Structure 1
């Protein structure tokens, strides 16, 4: 993993209709790193990914190592809710990932088709090449969307909940493939993930967002601090180590523990306690 940043964000902010949904996010992404974006629903993970890809108007700067603004050949984004055009086959959809490499009115080459076919094969989807995308199950469609992102062969891959519709076996297959490409090709991965344990397993670093603000960044061991997580997620959480991997679980409820109570107990107690030392939990590396 290179120490030089493949992508640099400085004071990135986004507002919708006057409401600030992302505020002053600063991050350096070294080439070859896997950065996991975590946080509750509505914390700004998807908006941050779309800002990196240049799909939403934002303040601050997003730039590559050489100071350029990222182009379509530099970044590939797998959105959380992609559109699947009616009548389009799987291979045609995956070939859309090659569009960034084509000139004006230029059509896909034999090499482009080989790249798309190779990605489908690695995802176990080669036999689906001529099937229309609307005939796929939810899990199959998600793997095809990932195939399109991988076919783009951009050095920075942005994934928004890449395994949310997949069963456990296919989750592992997809994440292992992305990690293999990261190791072999120096791919930089930024993935928004709900499962904190899975995010910890694959990420070199985690960035924890809450209400559009970057609350903590650092190694999984640093960021997955029970007090901070309990405060931000509004429920007492515990962090365990199993076979060398961090596992985040909700704390067991004993006599109503963890339920918000009028006396400020439960999750509210975690939030109040954490607020007193939150400034000590904003790490940078």
Structure 2
């Protein structure tokens, strides 16, 4: 059995649409949370969504997979509305059922591919085994998900989404509970899959430096509206980010990669200190 995690057909050319949103609007209690968002995700592209807390990033992703009612349209490249075998979501706050092992939980990702009353096949279980191996989670297969640390649980949720083998992957702060080493390994795995197998990635990310490192393009959202979009070096600008995030930020290029940092503090000199 191949270790391929997504469909093995040759990936379409980068730039052809995988997913499109047109005038997507979401309101809660008569208050607009997402305000007429238009975006297009190309096949094999990583499109990052950045913005402060409450900007509407998670709400937008949840509307795309049909978890939230919305106005507007969300279509795949062939014009169909996305289904469970087309788009997988890694949520920011996943619910892990008690009494279920890691392998059983990841196997839930295969549910969308099963017929009515069908059971998982050997091929489904091999896909799960492959995913766990790629994420270095093989030793966790028989552990109960309720015993996992926050970082371990986050990796298992990513594994379930990859086992779903959808051509479009939505990530909602996928590394928020991970240490630095596992953040890099998970993001690099997703990046490898989209480069080698045509996986298209739409990711809401708090880590602006990671967003600039992995995304082909960025969309900056504030109060539910897109305020900037383009290549990382067009969006990750000190003046723009400082205005949207409400704090002074600086953007530096280190070894060819953009790094977003808080502006240096102005240290207040204590009265008895010598100038």
Q: Could you tell me the TM-score, scaled by structure 1's length?
A: 0.88
Match of 1:79 in 2: 91
Distance in 2, matches of 1:224 and 1:2, equals 23
Task: Report the equivalent of 1:63.
Answer: 75
Partner of 2:169: 157
1:48 aligns with 2:55: no
Q: Is the 8 A contact 2:220 2:227 kept in 1?
A: yes
CA RMSD of aligned residues (A): 1.0
Deviations 1:49-99 (A, max 9, x none): 111111111111000111110010000001101110000010000000001
Structure 1: give runs of 5+ residues left out of the alignment: 257-285
1:129 CA displacement: 0.6
The alignment status of 1:231 with 2:246, answered yes or no, reads no
- Distance in 2 between the 1:29 and 1:90 partners? 31
**Aligned positions of 1:128-277 closer than 5 A:** 128-254=140-266
**Would the aligned equivalents of 2:91 and 2:172 in 1 still touch at CA under 8 Å?**
yes
Residue matched to 2:8: none
Counterpart Cα distance in 1 of 2:201 and 2:44? 7
Name which of 111, 115, 121 aligns with 1:109.
121
SS at match of 1:200: helix
Provide the rounded CA distance (Å) in 2 between the counterparts of 1:176 and 1:252. 30
SS at 1:103's partner residue? coil
Q: Distance in 2 between matches of 1:253 and 1:86?
A: 46
Q: Which runs of 5+ in 2 are unaligned?
A: 1-12, 269-275
Corresponding residue number in structure 1 for 2:26: 14
Which of structure 1's runs of 4+ aligned residues deviate more than 6 A? none
Deviations 1:202-227 (A, max 9, x none): 00000101011111111000011111
Q: Contact between 2:15 and 2:45, CA under 8 Å: does it hold in 1?
A: no
SS at structure 2 position matched to 1:182: helix
Deviation at 1:105, TM superposition (A): 0.6
Aligned-residue offset at 1:253: 2.8
- The more displaced of 51-60 and 86-95 is 51-60
* Residue 272 (structure 2) aligns with: none
Q: Following TM superposition, by how much is the alpha carbon of 1:255 offset from its aligned partner in structure 2, in angstroms?
A: 6.5
Inter-partner Cα distance in structure 2 for 1:228 and 1:246: 15
Taking structure 2 as the reference length, the TM-score comes to: 0.91
Query: Residue 125 in 1 paired to residue 134 in 2?
Result: no
Number of aligned residues: 256
Q: Secondary structure at the match of 2:229?
A: strand
